[in-house]
């Protein structure tokens, strides 16, 4: 890459977002971060990695909910970091890691509100990957190895969990078009086609 770029990928479960991110990073020859963010956050904080896995892309009521109503257990004061609910502490730690990675070099980051966390970074290109239900179920069953009888339920619950996490911490709406520079239907263009579209966007933005 001649110029720095940070591509964030939000994705519906079963749309192939992680695979697209991996292939994109490989083609652009830049680092790829997904679950590895959890390991980095645990190293940075000294907090047990299992806690990060438990809280991964899950939201719980805490400081953000109290702040929205200007009330709650903290009243009008700003709480100390160690007074925050554990999930909020973990989100702040992971946010710090994401910002540090984005500052240091080009990379691809999947999920974890990265587009929101890096919303003021001029090098960031936020992307959303989606697909039709049939395509997603096929991937969930035949590639992810989830039993056919469970696939639809897992798909719905995973997307609800991701949406709740994003909406809770960003105050926005997960999947809303104006949160992203590009929304790609991977079922229409295929995994490689989605990668090519994102690379084309990177090239166009780099030329501006």
* Per-10-residue mean pLDDT, the chain, length 208: 88 97 97 86 76 62 44 43 66 91 95 94 97 97 96 96 91 93 97 98 88
SS3 per-residue string spanning the chain: CCCCCEEEEEECCCCCHHHHHHHHHHHHCCCEECCHHHHHHHHHHCCCHHHHHHHCCCCCCCHHHHHHCCCCCCCCCCCCHHHCCHHHHHHHHHHHHHHHHHHHCCEEEECCCHHHHCCCCCCEEEEEEECCHHHHHHHHHHCCCCCHHHHHHHHHHHHHHHHHHHHHHHCCCCCCHHHCCEEEEHHHHHHHHHHHHHHHHHHHHHHC
pLDDT score of 66: 43
pLDDT score of 85: 63
């Amino acid at each position: 890459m001649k110029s720095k770029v940070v591509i964030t990928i939000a994705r519906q479960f079963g749309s192939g977002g992680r695979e697209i991110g991996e292939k994109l990073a490989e083609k652009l020859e830049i680092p790829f971060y997904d679950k590895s963010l959890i390991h980095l956050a645990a190293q940075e904080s000294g907090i047990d990695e299992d806690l990060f896995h438990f809280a991964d892309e899950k939201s719980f009521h805490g400081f953000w909910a109290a702040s929205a109503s200007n009330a709650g257990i903290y009243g009008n004061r700003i709480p100390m970091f160690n007074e925050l609910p554990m999930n909020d502490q973990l989100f702040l730690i992971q946010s710090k890691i994401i910002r540090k990675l984005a500052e240091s070099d080009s990379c691809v980051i999947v999920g974890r509100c990265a587009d929101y966390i890096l919303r003021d970074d001029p090098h960031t290109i936020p992307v959303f990957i989606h697909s039709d239900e049939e395509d997603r179920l096929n991937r969930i069953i035949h590639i992810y190895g989830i039993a056919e009888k469970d696939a639809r339920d897992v798909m719905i619950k995973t997307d609800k969990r991701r949406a709740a996490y994003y909406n809770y911490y960003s105050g926005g709406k997960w999947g809303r078009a104006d949160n992203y520079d590009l929304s790609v239907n991977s079922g229409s263009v295929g995994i490689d086609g989605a990668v090519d579209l994102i690379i084309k966007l990177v090239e166009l933005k780099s030329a501006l």
